[in-house]
Amino acid sequence: MTSSYSTSQTFTLTHAKHLASKVVSDMYQCRNFYGEPSEAQIVNYQEELIVMLAGGYVKEYEFGFKKKDQRIISWQYRVNASGDLVGGTDDCSGGIYARANVAGAIHFNFMSYTPAWFTLTASEKSTIKAKHPVSRSTGDLPGDGSGYWHTDRTYSSAGVAIERKTFRPS
C-alpha cells in the first residue's frame, strides 16, 4: 500500500506582510548606516510593498545610493512566485554592508512590475495605487559603478521567495 498527499499554499496578505517586513528591516539597517531613507519613507514603502506583493505585481525591488547614475551601494530583491521554494530558506533580514562611501550620493528606490500588473486596466491600477501612499514615475535603474553583485539572502513565505543581491563597492 502506498499513500501520497499534496499540499497547497495560498499567498495571502499575511505572507506579503512577512516578506515586506524583511525588506523593510533591511531599509532600517540602511538608514542606520547611511542616513536614508527617512522613517516616513520607510513606512510608506512598507505599505506599498505589502499591497503590491499581495497582488503579485512586484518583479524586482531595489534601493540604494547612486552617483552620476552609477550604483555606489544597492540592494535588489527579485521575487520568485514559482512555488519551487515552498518550505525553503527564509533567512533573517539584515547583514547590510556598512562601509560604502555615500558622500555626495543620492538615495534611490525602484520597483519593476510583473506581467500581471500590465494586464490590469487603468482603473484597476488606480484602485491599487490608492491603497498605498507611494507615487512612482517611470525611470531607469542606475548602471553598475565600481563594484560587484553578491547574492546573500533569500526570504520566503508560502511558496514566494525573494532573493536579495547586494551591489557592493570594490
For the chain, list the domains and their CATH numbers: 13-97+105-133+141-169 (3.30.900.10)
In sequence order, the β-bridge partners of residue 136 are: none
Look up the pTM and report it: 0.86
What's the mean pLDDT when you consider all of the chain?
88
- Helix-strand-coil split of the chain, %, nearest 5: 30, 30, 40
In terms of DSSP H, where are the helices of the chain?
13-34, 39-54, 115-118, 122-129
The mean pLDDT of 51-55, rounded to a whole number, is: 94
Q: What pLDDT score was predicted for residue 81?
A: 65
CA-CA distance, 164 to 19, in Å (whole number)?
12
pLDDT digits (tens, 9 = 90+) for 79-100: 986 544 344 577 778 889 999 9
At 156, the pLDDT band (50, 70, 90 cuts) reads confident
Q: What pLDDT score was predicted for residue 15?
A: 86
